[in-house]
């Protein structure tokens, strides 16, 4: 990554401030809030998949787990600070255990995908089956497919009566996303992040250099789950209800599509992909002429065909071609000679 | 005599009916430079993979500086201070030369020290002009050179190189020979090679593999003159 962390901080603060000022003039804050939350969810998968090479088909599981943890803890505790912390910790611990099992068991990527998918399915089925009165945690009834409504929503830390809602809640979510974005940036610039990228590129080489690939992948996987969990808790507060649909495979698939469309291997891509596609879905939801999953599917196909690396990498290339120091000819040349190698190698 | 840093006892590796390594007893002393030769399929790479933990031998043991490393994983063995290059080039193709070498250096040094070591290694390998290029864009010989850099930058005390000179230009081989000699001041080195000229220029003791087993182990001149070796390896009738 180019530049330094302090430049990241300055750029993020400026861009966030501008967006906080302009966006509410264009879109209602209630809708914006959920776009921001989806952006955070997209970033969570973008981190582990784009930079760690871990394709998780069950990122929705951690999102849902965060939301449920928040709801259950908020009902039992009341004040929202500890429930927020738990909503980050529980998915992180769950992912650490699941990840350790998968990575230490030396599962190949395909099985990793299958297992994360199955875990999501199991959670979905389980949450749906908890309608009976025997499914209670403390004072919280799980509620089956109806989910859990009526929990304490976010309050000013220490003051359970001071709810944060409406516009203020939007600003809290946006600032949370900016902070998570900066933490991810710092992580990626640290030795840990650079080593994670090395592992994405060539696991065998990195282990022959002395890195414990299993442990590092487990930690990264768990970090991604923590971010997804935070997004889940923010989502619970936004919707004021949690339902098993949070764990649906459709949700998991959408997160993957966000990352592909936005651009893997970038920090901004998954955020923009998530917010953009979620907004498109929102707009489509207001009409009933065309099925909106059809449109989303079409968008994905078009991207895979014409912009396979996603929006952000394409914009970066465009920027480099237009304003960069490197002349266009050399890029083409390099690519051509690489293709030639591929043909003859 | 110097301490034994690498030893295998009755190391055997079978793949179904094929015995790729057959009862190999191998000893290497500190700061020794050993070449392994043998015809294609003799089991040299299999022996390497068993020693580096990429494969677990069917029978026998591997010892490194007194540790029984037979069932260790590659990263544990590398962490002891063993630099490894396998036969097929293995690098991070989408990362720059600098990043590749830095990642190797960082394993054994704190960040600042790793930066310094990386700069030194890039200088030593004459990779300066291409330090910010991704490895995927480089020529084969340059990638080989970078991989040698990855191995050397961790200051290993044992270096295992499987066909490091393959596909290199004469100039590259010469530079590599210099680096190997320098490494050899502090490290024991095992090199698998087919290039006889290179072996003559660098080796003293040579171990000959044939059909998984050690056929002969002696000074390079005597090995090259041996009729049996010439027969199996060079394909010439004595
Ligand atoms: N994973 C494997 N499964 C089955 N057979 C294998 C495997 N790896 C190696 N072999 C066989 O073991 C024998 C030794 O192979 P190896 O690669 O060790 O030879 P080598 O001496 O390195 O040859 P070369 O000089 O061509 O690199 C060969 O007959 C090979 O086909
Ligand atoms: Mg070989």
**Distance to chain B for A313, nearest Cα, Å:** 15
Q: Which residues of A159-168 are buried (b: 16+ CB within 10 A; e: fewer)?
A: eeeebbbeee
Domain containing A242: what range? 5-248
Task: Give the pLDDT score at A267.
Answer: 96
**A335 to chain B: nearest residue by CA?**
B137
Backbone conformation region of residue A310, classed left if phi is above 0, alpha if psi is from -120 to 50, else beta: left
- Total tally of structural domains belonging to chain A: 1
Per-residue model confidence as pLDDT tens digits over B167-218: 888 888 888 899 999 999 999 999 999 888 889 889 889 999 999 999 999 9
Residues of B in contact with A205 (CB under 8 A): 90-92, 150
Helix (H, G, I), strand (E, B) or coil at B106: helix
Question: Is pLDDT above 90 for B34?
Answer: yes
- Whether the CB-CB separation of A191 and B106 falls below 8 Å is answered with yes
- Whether the CB-CB separation of B209 and B42 falls below 8 Å is answered with yes
Give the count of alpha carbons within 13 A of B95, CB side only: 26
Please give the Cα distance from B160 to B69 (Å, whole number).
15
Pairing of strands B158-162, B188-192: parallel
Averages of pLDDT over runs of 10 residues in chain A (345 residues) are: 84 96 95 97 98 94 97 96 98 97 90 94 95 92 94 94 95 97 97 97 96 97 98 97 93 94 96 96 82 84 91 90 61 44 41
Going by pLDDT thresholds of 50, 70 and 90, the confidence category of residue B12 is very high
User: What residues contact B201, with CB distance under 8 A and at least 6 apart?
Assistant: B177
Task: Give the pLDDT score at A321.
Answer: 86
User: What residues contact A275, with CB distance under 8 A and at least 6 apart?
Assistant: A35, A36, A38, A39, A42
Average pLDDT, whole number, for chain B?
92
**Domain assignment of residue A326, yes or no:** no
**Domain assignment of residue A321, yes or no:** no
- How many CB atoms within 10 Å of residue B105? 26
User: What residues contact A34, with CB distance under 8 A and at least 6 apart?
Assistant: A235, A238, A278
Q: Which pair of tokens denotes residue B186?
A: 């502090």
**Domain assignment of residue A343, yes or no:** no
Average pLDDT over residues B23-30: 95
Helix (H, G, I), strand (E, B) or coil at B218: strand
Chain mean position to CA B106: 21
**Domain assignment of residue A123, yes or no:** yes
Rounded to two decimals, the pTM is 0.92
Query: Is the C-beta atom of B40 inside 6 A of ligand 1?
Result: yes
Query: Which residues are registered as beta bridge partners of B61?
Result: B9
Residues of B in contact with A198 (CB under 8 A): 92, 95, 99, 103
Euclidean distance between the first and the last CA atom of chain A, given in angstroms as a whole number: 30
This model of the complex carries an ipTM of: 0.94
Of all protein residues, whose CA lies closest to atom 24 belonging to ligand 1?
A: B40
Query: Is the C-beta atom of B45 inside 6 A of ligand 1?
Result: yes
Q: Percent of chain B having pLDDT more than 70?
A: 97
Task: Give the pLDDT score at B160.
Answer: 97
Task: Give the pLDDT score at A329.
Answer: 43
Ligand 2 centroid vs A92 CA: distance in angstroms? 43
Instruction: Check CB contact under 8 Å for A338 and B136.
Output: yes
Domains and CATH numbers, chain B: 1-81+156-238 (3.40.50.300), 89-155 (no CATH)
Q: In this complex, which of B52, B95, B154 lies closest to A201 when CB atoms are compared?
A: B95
Query: Is the C-beta atom of B46 inside 6 A of ligand 1?
Result: yes
- How many CB atoms within 10 Å of residue A68? 29
**Distance to chain A for B82, nearest Cα, Å:** 8
Ligand 2 centroid vs B37 CA: distance in angstroms? 10
- How many CB atoms within 10 Å of residue B141? 18
Helix (H, G, I), strand (E, B) or coil at B134: strand
Please give the Cα distance from B43 to B211 (Å, whole number).
7
- Whether the CB-CB separation of A44 and A53 falls below 8 Å is answered with no
Please give the Cα distance from A206 to A191 (Å, whole number).
13
Q: In this complex, which of B78, B91, B106 lies closest to A202 when CB atoms are compared?
A: B91
Give the count of alpha carbons within 13 A of B6, CB side only: 27
Residues of B in contact with A337 (CB under 8 A): 137
**A342 to chain B: nearest residue by CA?**
B136
Q: Please report which ligand is nearest the Cα atom of B46.
A: 1
Q: With both helix axes pointing from N to C terminus, report the angle between A59-77 and A249-262 in degrees, rounded to the nearest 10.
A: 120
- Whether the CB-CB separation of A230 and A65 falls below 8 Å is answered with no
Pick the closest to residue A52 from A222, A187, A180, A221 (CA basis). A221
**Domain assignment of residue A314, yes or no:** no
E-assigned strand segments in B30-122: 33-37, 59-64, 67-68, 82-85
**Domain assignment of residue A302, yes or no:** no
Q: Which pair of tokens denotes residue A15?
A: 């861009």
Task: Give the pLDDT score at B232.
Answer: 81
């Amino acid at each position: 990554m180019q530049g330094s962390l302090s430049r990241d901080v300055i750029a993020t603060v400026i861009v966030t401030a501008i967006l906080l000022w302009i966006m509410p003039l264009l879109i209602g804050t209630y809708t914006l809030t959920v776009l921001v939350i989806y952006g955070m969810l997209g970033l969570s998968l973008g981190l582990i998949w784009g930079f760690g090479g871990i394709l998780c088909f069950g990122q929705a599981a951690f999102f849902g787990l965060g939301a449920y943890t928040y709801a259950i803890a908020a009902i039992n505790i009341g004040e929202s600070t500890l429930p927020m912390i738990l909503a980050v910790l529980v998915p992180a611990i769950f992912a650490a255990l699941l990840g350790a099992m998968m990575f230490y068991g030396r599962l190949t990527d395909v099985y990793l995908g299958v297992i994360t998918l199955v875990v999501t399915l199991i959670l979905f089925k389980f949450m749906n089956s908890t309608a009976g009165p025997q499914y209670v945690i403390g004072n919280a009834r799980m509620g089956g497919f109806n989910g859990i409504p009526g929990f304490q929503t976010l309050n000013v830390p220490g003051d359970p009566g001071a709810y944060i809602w409406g516009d203020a809640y939007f600003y809290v979510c946006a600032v949370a996303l900016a902070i998570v974005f900066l933490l991810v940036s710092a992580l990626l610039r640290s030795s840990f992040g650079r080593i994670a990228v090395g592992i994405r590129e060539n696991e065998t080489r990195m282990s022959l250099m002395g890195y414990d690939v299993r442990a590092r992948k487990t930690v990264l996987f768990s970090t991604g789950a923590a971010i997804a969990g935070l997004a889940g808790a923010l989502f619970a507060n936004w919707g004021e209800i949690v339902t098993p649909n949070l764990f649906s495979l459709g949700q998991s698939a959408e997160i993957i599509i966000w990352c592909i469309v936005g651009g893997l291997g970038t920090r901004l891509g998954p955020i923009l992909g998530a917010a953009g596609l979620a907004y498109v879905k929102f707009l489509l939801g207001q009409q009933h002429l065309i099925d909106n999953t059809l449109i989303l599917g079409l968008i994905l196909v078009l991207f895979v065909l014409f912009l396979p690396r996603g929006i952000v990498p394409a914009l970066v290339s465009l920027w480099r071609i237009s304003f960069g120091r490197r002349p266009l000819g050399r890029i083409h040349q390099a690519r051509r000679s690489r293709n030639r190698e591929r043909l003859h190698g | 005599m110097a301490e034994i840093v690498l030893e295998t006892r009755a190391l055997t590796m079978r793949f179904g009916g094929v015995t790729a390594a057959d009862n190999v007893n191998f000893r290497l002393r500190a700061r020794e430079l050993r070449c392994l030769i043998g015809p294609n399929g003799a089991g040299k790479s299999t022996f390497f993979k068993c020693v580096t933990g990429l494969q677990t031998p069917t029978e026998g043991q591997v010892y490194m500086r007194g540790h029984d490393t037979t069932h260790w994983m590659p990263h544990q063995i590398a962490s002891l201070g063993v630099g490894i290059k396998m036969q097929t080039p293995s690098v991070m193709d989408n990362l720059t030369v600098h990043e590749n070498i830095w990642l190797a250096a960082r394993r054994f040094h704190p960040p600042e020290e790793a930066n310094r070591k990386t700069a030194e290694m890039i200088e030593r390998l004459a990779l300066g002009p291409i330090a910010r290029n991704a490895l995927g864009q480089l020529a084969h010989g340059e990638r080989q050179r970078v991989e040698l850099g990855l191995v050397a930058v961790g200051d290993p005390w044992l270096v295992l190189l499987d066909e490091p000179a393959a596909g290199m230009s004469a100039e590259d081989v010469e530079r590599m020979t210099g680096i190997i000699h320098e490494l050899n001041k502090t490290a024991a080195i095992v090199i698998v090679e087919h290039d006889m000229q290179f072996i003559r220029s660098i080796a003293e003791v040579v171990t000959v593999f044939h059909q998984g087993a050690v056929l002969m182990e002696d000074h390079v001149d005597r090995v090259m003159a041996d009729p049996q070796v010439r027969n199996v390896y060079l394909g010439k009738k004595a």
